[in-house]
Homo-oligomer: A and B are copies of this chain.
Amino acid sequence: MNQTLVGIVIGSDSDLPVMRTAMETLSHFDVGYEVKVLSAHRTLQRTIDYAHGAESRGLKVIIAGAGGAAHLAGLIAAETTLPVIGVPLEASPLQGWDALLSTVQMPAGVPVATVAVGKAGACNSALLAVQILSLQEPSLREKLREFREDLARQVEEKSQKVERELPPSS
């Protein structure tokens, strides 16, 4: 699918190391994405413009990762009807609790699809985007099934490795 279908928006370039997992996961599925640094508080108008233009530019899903009082995902969600996925990041001494609550506790009317704090959430934001896209694109559904089988296989291999190292003790 040589189209940019997912917009990844991060609140600061310091969020890049964690959010890179989202990009790698989308690449794995050959889903086109773009990356922007946008700030709900420092570049509000650009963020709104981005949200407004997203649909007409062909984006289908937006992923927003931010820390602290993380308003980025909620703000974008307020200005588009595309599904918006929020990734709470650990960016203050409060260890992500602030980002989690600021992202997930949206008022009735404007949902943000929130995933786990940090790296696991970054990965899952991409998978959720692929799952949404696969509703229209059966080939993605197939790849998702393979991905899940791969995951299962990896767990199984790890189990076998552990079982070899730690055979039943009796």
- Known contacts A78-B42, A104-B69, A131-B83; A111 and B94 CB within 8 A of each other: no
Interface residues of A in 58-83 (CB under 8 A from B): 60, 67-69, 71, 74-75, 77-79, 81-83
Which residues from chain B contact A67 at a C-beta distance below 8 Å?
107
Tell me what chain A mostly uses at the interface: helix, strand, loop, or mixed. Answer: mixed
- Pick the contact of A42 from B97, B102, B136, B151 — CB < 8 Å? B151
Chain A interface category by residue count: 35 or more
Is the pair A104, B104 in contact by a Cβ cutoff of 8 Å?
Answer: yes
Q: Once the chains are docked, how many angstroms separate the CA of A7 from the CA of B23?
A: 30
Which residues from chain B contact A31 at a C-beta distance below 8 Å?
169-170
Q: Once the chains are docked, how many angstroms separate the CA of A35 from the CA of B3?
A: 36
**With an 8 A cutoff between CB atoms, is A115 at the interface?**
yes
**With an 8 A cutoff between CB atoms, is A26 at the interface?**
yes
